[in-house]
Amino acid sequence: MRLLPRSERPTGRGYRERSRFRVRRQARVRDLLGPDSTGIRQSLVALSFSSLTAVVAGGLLAAMTGTLERYPGLLVLVPAAIGMRGNIFGALGSRLATSIHAGTFRMSRRPEALVMQNVIASGVLSLVTAVALAVLTKILSPIFGLDSVIALSDLLVLSAVGALLSFLVLIAVTLAMASRSAQRGWDLDDVNAPLVSAVGDVVTLPALLVASLLLETDVLTQTLAVVLVVAAGTSLWWCRRTLLSVMRQVLIESLPILFATGILLVIAGVVIEHEFAAFAANRAMLVLVPACLATAGAIGGILSGRLSSKFHLGVIEPTAIPGRPARRDLIASLAFALPVLLLNGFLAHLTSSIFGFESPGMTSLVWISTIGGLIATVLAGAIGYYGTALAVRAGVDPDTYGMPLVTSSVDLGGAAALVLTIGWMGLS
């Protein structure tokens, strides 16, 4: 092929923009075929950042033991609230990533635009699911042996106010990541789940703590609880009548899976609440709770996001035995786990040493983090593939179903694995 002389080569702004677009498109195609070195590096950086922020959240949780004792049931809401934020905004990021790959992503403030309809849907889902989590906590806690739980009005205020405060931060972060990914040609699937998990961990606990300040006055709490329930019901009524089809579809597909996963998240919180005495005696182990759950959930989220985009674009098929591209993603996701889990144990020990939390020692913390986290990560890999494949076979959007199914199942499995590991080591 003859190379044109420089003087005869096409120039101009339009040519340069087309060239940049071709480069970005080729990079996205390469990313879809499997995790390359750039994708792996982005994921590891995002997972490391997620670990740092999750340990910070764990330190805040360990420092909140007095508040947790004063409001029985608040600890049940912690993994449930964090998990639901990951479900809603992880799925949002996954949908936006698919639109970027398909070339349909456009930032716009118009209500009928794809992005804005997703934003509105995420806000409604945040409020409605928060009300549902409060009700589920009140119903399920006695069934699983927790008789001492605060009033339903208190749970409603804690859950819904915490969710709305978290929404304001998480929606800004998710849209900023999507916009930057579209501009720079990054693969949003590689960083969406860890960064949403990281921000959700840091934001949700302070939001719950702020919401707990509203419980001091009974009249205010009861009035606010009624207002929040009415607002949730009105939002659902409006969404049924709206002409915004994308938003309505997201809600119709999301609500059933989010309610189902909400049950798993509340049970995960109950599992942890049952061991509150052990966690209070060794608060360093409480630091590990958000970190281990966030790591496994983020890895499962990366896997679910990548597989969902591949299913949408026809790169892989939902077969019983994963094909080669899917296996590459599974192996890469599991390979992320070990160094990040070791880091979690070390950071938990460092945080505990700095703040003077009671600790069983660095070796025990590293073992708890590694064993419990690996069990949860293997579970995340299995559910990440088969949950997404099942969504495709059922004819529903894997972006909407895959992410919540993975993160919620991993939260429950991770909580159980963490408690079992603590028991195996004789610390419960």
pLDDT in tens, 130-174: 999 999 999 999 898 887 889 999 999 999 999 999 999 999 888
Whether the per-residue pLDDT at 260 is higher than 80: the answer is yes
Please state the φ and ψ torsions of residue 240, each to the nearest 5 degrees: -70, -25
The crossing angle, in degrees rounded to 10, of helices 398-424 and 74-102 is 140
51-96 tens-digit pLDDT: 788 788 888 888 888 888 888 888 888 888 888 887 888 778 878 8
Mean pLDDT in residue range 97-117: 78
Mean pLDDT in residue range 88-108: 78
pLDDT at residue 233 in the model: 93
Predicted confidence band at 379 (pLDDT cuts at 50, 70, 90)?
A: confident
Q: How far apart are CA 254 and CA 244, in angstroms?
A: 16
Q: How many CA atoms lie within 13 A of 212 on its CB side?
A: 20
Whether the per-residue pLDDT at 185 is higher than 80: the answer is no
CB atoms within 10 A of CB 81: 28
Yes or no: say if 290 and 351 are a contact pair by the CB < 8 Å rule.
no
Q: How far apart are CA 79 and CA 197, in angstroms?
A: 12
Residue type for position 375: I
pLDDT at residue 157 in the model: 94
Cα-trace Rg, the chain: 22
Rounded to 10 degrees, the C-alpha dihedral 247/248/252/257 comes to 10
pLDDT at residue 13 in the model: 52
Note the pTM of the prediction, 2 decimals. Answer: 0.74
The whole-chain average pLDDT of the chain stands at 79
Residue closest to 25 by CA, chosen among 97, 102, 96: 102
Q: How far apart are CA 362 and CA 278, in angstroms?
A: 17
Residue located via tokens 């994708």: 39
Please state the φ and ψ torsions of residue 323, each to the nearest 5 degrees: -75, 175
Greatest pairwise CA separation for the chain in angstroms: 82
Q: How many CA atoms lie within 13 A of 235 on its CB side?
A: 20
> CA 6 → CA 3, 11, 63, 368, 397, distances in Å?
9, 10, 66, 63, 48
Domain boundaries, the chain: 37-424
